[in-house]
Amino acid sequence: MNRLPRFLATALALGTAAALVTGCSDEGAPLSFDTPTSDTSTTQQAKDPGKGTGKDGAGKSTGSGPETVLPTGPKASFTTANTLEDGTKIGVTTLAGAKSGFTGKVWVWAPKQYFDPKYAKSGFPVLMALPGGNGYPMNYWMGTDLKLQSRISTWSQEGKSLPFIVVMPVLNPDDKFYYDGSDIPGQPKMGTWLTEDVPEFVQANFRTFASRDGWAFMGSSSGAFAGLKAVLQRPDRFKAVIASGPDTVPDSPLWAGHEAQRQANNPEKLAKALGAKPDTEKNRVYLAFQIGTEESGMGTLKTFMKNYTKGPVKTRLQVIQGGGHNAKGYVRGMGDGSIAWISKQMQGPIPSS
């Protein structure tokens, strides 16, 4: 797939990031995600009542129970970016990535269940949401018009989705190039930013799970590529992805002169290598693909699935009827099946009583 036309389609479908931001009366006000357990820097075993069904509060049976990681610090300073209809807020902060050396904005939303006392000692699953287009200086999932967070809130109450913490980092370091969510030699280390710095920031500020069962990506277009590549490259850290209208090969012009490194970040190569490994729980990844009937790339995506759905690489395709290359359609597709599929594979929060 050629990414430039896909970027233009995304930009036209979504408009500017500013158009997606719904103002709120407390925009810019200090925001805290602290709960009564937030000051304890430790890990603990959450009680696990049984095998999960993808419903709110249900968790996968793991013997002694999933390991909850309480916030490790240092604590970030958040300000309010948006407020949802249910009163929950999207916060924003600036993160200086210790490992990547890149500094950028990260937006975060926590569902109502996160603040419920019965889950005060439990971790929550994390969904890293990546935008299409340049993904800089904004991540359009932080706006309220696309209703990603509102839908997750509703779906979790209906039993379709786990109540994910949604984390929305900037995807690229500028608006000039695509960096393929990778550490391209001589360029900002955006792969390290997405797979190490941002997750460590989340662990510093939120109750999460130590296991990969609590970590997933979702994204559209170029963000779908980055999320897909991250899961295939780091199956020890991430278990699932919802990849909507994705590219399946790295095509940034910045790879010129670095073919070996480009191939090391190629989802086709990564999927082939992972698919040859034993089909064990430790190796399994879940790739939920989405594509609209009104966008290009259906054939390429089906070929990828045919070639690489092997061994521990599990895939699912959500065809969005009448859908184009746009984020609103992709959210609709999530509700039609993709979010439920990955939720069944992941760890949900465990009530203490």
- The b/e string for 318-344 (b: 16+ C-beta within 10 A; e otherwise) is bebeebbbbbbbbbbbbbbebbbbbbb
Q: Which pair of tokens denotes residue 4?
A: 């430039």
For helices 222-233 and 267-275, the axis angle rounded to 10 degrees is 30
Is the CB of residue 323 less than 8 Å from the CB of residue 335? Answer: no
β-sheet bridge partners, residue 291: 319
DSSP class of 194: I
For the whole model, what pTM was predicted?
Answer: 0.90
DSSP class of 254: G
Is the CB of residue 152 less than 8 Å from the CB of residue 95? Answer: no
β-sheet bridge partners, residue 94: 105
3-state secondary structure of 338: helix
**Tally of CB atoms within 10 A around 34:** 13
Q: Which pLDDT score is estimated for 54?
A: 36
Q: Which pLDDT score is estimated for 39?
A: 56
Backbone angles phi, psi at 329, to 5 degrees: -65, -35
Residue 272 identity (one-letter amino acid): K
User: Burial of 196 by CB count in 10 Å (0-12 exposed, 13-18 middle, 19+ buried)?
Assistant: middle
- Sheet with 208-209, strands from edge to edge, namely 43-45, 67-69, 208-209
Q: Which pLDDT score is estimated for 48?
A: 42
**How far apart (Å, rounded) are the C-alpha atoms in residues 103 and 96?**
4
* Residue ranges in the chain modelled with pLDDT below 70: 1-25, 38-65, 353
**How far apart (Å, rounded) are the C-alpha atoms in residues 25 and 12?**
29
3-state secondary structure of 303: helix
Q: Which pLDDT score is estimated for 58?
A: 39
How many residues does this entry show for the chain? 353
Q: Which pLDDT score is estimated for 36?
A: 76
3-state secondary structure of 193: helix
**How far apart (Å, rounded) are the C-alpha atoms in residues 240 and 164?**
13
